Amino acid sequence: MLKVNNLKINYGGIEAVKGISFSIEQGGIVTLIGANGAGKSTTLRCIAGLIKPRSGSIEFLGEDITGKDPAAIVARGITMVPEGRKIFSDLTVLENLKIGAYLRTESLDEDLKWIFDLFPRLKERSWQLGGTLSGGEQQMLSVGRALMSRPKLIMMDEPSLGLAPLIVRDIFEIIKEINRQGVTILLIEQNANMALKTADIGYVMETGRITLTGTGYELLTNEGVKAAYLGA
């Protein structure tokens, strides 16, 4: 579905990503784990079109999307749940969701119903301003907003950041549920334990390179990963 080939990205004057290649199969959950500054977020933002790569290529459903602008990429079916949620705090929950479907012109009734089924809390609070929601609710809104564009691939940047453990579990349940409904997922996490338990395939990134690949289970039991990321 998504093929990233020898991608190099300069960001903030340094080479943040030094030539990585990976691919995502349709219908799967793929995770990219690694420490701070490994280049995970940069990779994601590059796929979303927010920053341009220095070299390499990104292919989505057989089409080269390298260097396209974000609107074109959203239109092709890739959306991002940005790090730190980034909801629009002065817009209502409903408006936030509608912004997610900004590029679509058809009726949104069914999509809203879908989102409100997934997140009943958002329905209760649809007239509240985004900024008044709790952290967990904001994360759900952020995911819901991304889903409103009817993506084929949804990329999540640290969805567990700053949330209580119980809520993190809810969020991961929702990620699995969305995946069951046919959306492919690329997940970036520092919470490697949760991410690897959820994912089919995992990639470990270190200082701009992919150093290890395997199924979620393989990586969970890998001694190196255990020592470096699972604190065991």
Partner 1 sequence: MDMKKLIKTAGPIALLFLLLFVLEKTLPTTSMLFVVLKKGAIYALVAVSMNLLNGFTGLFSLGQAGFMLIGAYTYGILTIPLEAREAVYQYFDGGIVSFTVPVLVAIAAAGLVTAVFAYLIGLPVLRLKSDYLAIATLGFAEIIRAVFQWDKLGPVTNGSNLLKRFPVFTSTLFPFAVAGVCIAVIVLLINSSYGRAFKAIRDDEIAAEAMGINLAKHKQMSFTISSFFAGIGGALLAMYQTTVQAAAFRATMTYEILLIVVIGGIGSVTGSCLASFLFIACSEWWLRFLDEVTYIGAFQVPLLSSGFRKVVFSVIVMIIVLFYSRGIMGTKEFSLDALFRFFKKRFGKTKKEDVAG
Cβ contact 2:154 at 8 Å: no
Cβ contact 225:219 at 8 Å: yes
* 39 lies in the site for partner 1, by CB under 8 A: no
Cβ contact 24:5 at 8 Å: no
Site string for partner 1, 86-115 (x = CB under 8 A): xxxxxx---x--xxx-xx------------
Return the structure tokens found at 28: 């799967």
The residue count for binding partner 1 (CB under 8 A) is: 25
* 139 lies in the site for partner 1, by CB under 8 A: no
* 69 lies in the site for partner 1, by CB under 8 A: yes
The H or E element spanning position 188 is: strand 184-189
Site string for partner 1, 143-182 (x = CB under 8 A): --x---x---------------------------------
* 7 lies in the site for partner 1, by CB under 8 A: no
Question: Which residue bears the tokens 């209502």?
Answer: 92
- Give CA 197 to chain center in angstroms: 16
Q: Which residues in this chain contact partner 1 in the complex, by CB under 8 A?
A: 48, 50, 69-71, 73-75, 79-80, 82, 86-91, 95, 98-100, 102-103, 145, 149
